[in-house]
Amino acid sequence: MRILIISDIHANFTALQAVLGASRSVDQIWCLGDVVGYGPDPNQCIECLREIPNLICLLGNHDAAVLGRIPLATFNKDARVSIQWTRTVLTPASQAWLATLPESWVNGSAFLAHGSPRNPIWEYLLDPNTAALCFEFFDNPFCFVGHTHLPIAFLYNGLDHPTRWLIPTPGQEFHPNNRVIINPGSVGQPRDRDPRAAFGIFNDTTNTWLPQRIEYDIMSVQQRIFDANLPQRHAVRLLEGW
Ligand code: ZN
């Protein structure tokens, strides 16, 4: 089965459309959370995801904050402004859908979480030492996480050896020969200085990961951010990928 894995859409409907348009032949779609926050299109993104058959979608920290489940004080000011704005525009149907999302999911050979298997909503997996501690919190060969907006793979090498990391090359199939935690990067707000939307295809038959990037119309999203009076920083960063 070929599974499109997306994460951190952050209410960027133009980026989401580009990714879905480039991935029409997949068998299933898994989304690792943060559907909303930062961006101008929360309802459009949710309405689009709700139409996808057999979608698995997790709850991210921004989604949880919009629902009032985690305190706003844990976010920086610009993120808080967007979360509060999202609350004012979200339709009851969108809010009800967000409220159904689970924090983690196990599906065959893969464990899914927004942040980490140890702390699904909050923990950022940014370095191999932190990632190494997380392998005991799931049993599957693969774990997929989002949250950092940085595409990366952490390769388990046993308890007595350091966990390695690498950045899989977009367009090149990656076949890990050990247990691995993979972050596909962010659809709607990449932070690795590559502004193209990030995603990937997991093949759970061949156990391979195909990372991908795609350009989208960033300026149209920036315009909607300005029109909604959301913080300008959220628009500027899209063009530079940070
Ligand atoms: Zn995020």
Of all residues in the chain, the percent with pLDDT exceeding 90 is 97
Q: Ligand 1 center to residue 136 CA distance, Å?
A: 24
Across 42-53, average pLDDT:
97
Tell me, what's the pLDDT at 108? 85
What pTM value is reported for the model? 0.97
Q: Are strands 152-155 and 180-183 parallel, antiparallel or unpaired?
A: antiparallel
Centroid of ligand 1 to alpha carbon of 34 (angstroms): 5
Task: Look at residue 107 and tell me whether its pLDDT is greater than 90.
Answer: no
Ligand 1 center–CA 104 separation, angstroms = 15
CA of 62 to the centre of ligand 1 (A): 7
How high is the pLDDT of residue 93?
98
Assess contact for 56 and 31: CB atoms under 8 A. Answer: yes
Mean per-residue pLDDT of the chain? 97
Ligand 1 centroid distance, CA of 115 (Å): 9
Note the pLDDT of residue 160: 85
The tens digit of pLDDT for each residue in 22-45 reads 998 999 999 999 999 999 999 999
Cα of 213 vs centre of ligand 1, distance in Å, is 17
110-113 vs 142-144, strand pairing mode: parallel
137 CA distance to ligand 1 centroid (A)? 22
CA atoms in the 13 A half-sphere facing the CB of 6: 33
Contact indicator for 148, 125 with CB cutoff of 8 Å: yes
Q: What is the pLDDT of residue 78?
A: 96
Contacts of 76 (CB under 8 A, 6+ apart): none
Q: How far apart are CA 149 and CA 162, in angstroms?
A: 23
pLDDT, one tens digit per residue, over 114-158 is 999 999 999 999 999 999 999 999 999 999 999 999 999 999 998
What is the number of alpha carbons within 13 Å of residue 44 lying toward its C-beta? 14
User: What sections of 90-124 are H helices per DSSP?
Assistant: 92-98
| 172-217 residue pLDDT tens | 999 998 999 999 999 999 999 999 999 999 999 999 999 999 999 9
Give me the pLDDT at residue 159, please.
80
Q: List, for residues 53-104, the tens digit of each pLDDT value.
A: 999 999 999 999 999 999 999 999 999 999 999 999 999 999 999 999 999 9
Question: From the CA of 187, how far away is ligand 1's center (Å)?
Answer: 10
Provide CB contacts within 8 A for 4, sequence distance 6+.
19, 20, 23, 26, 28, 29, 30, 199, 200, 201
CA–centroid distance, 61 to ligand 1, in Å, is 7
- Expressed in angstroms and rounded, the spacing between residue 148 Cα and the centre of ligand 1 is 7
Q: How far is the CA of 161 from the centre of ligand 1 (A)?
A: 30
Rounded distance from Cα 126 to ligand 1 centre (Å): 13
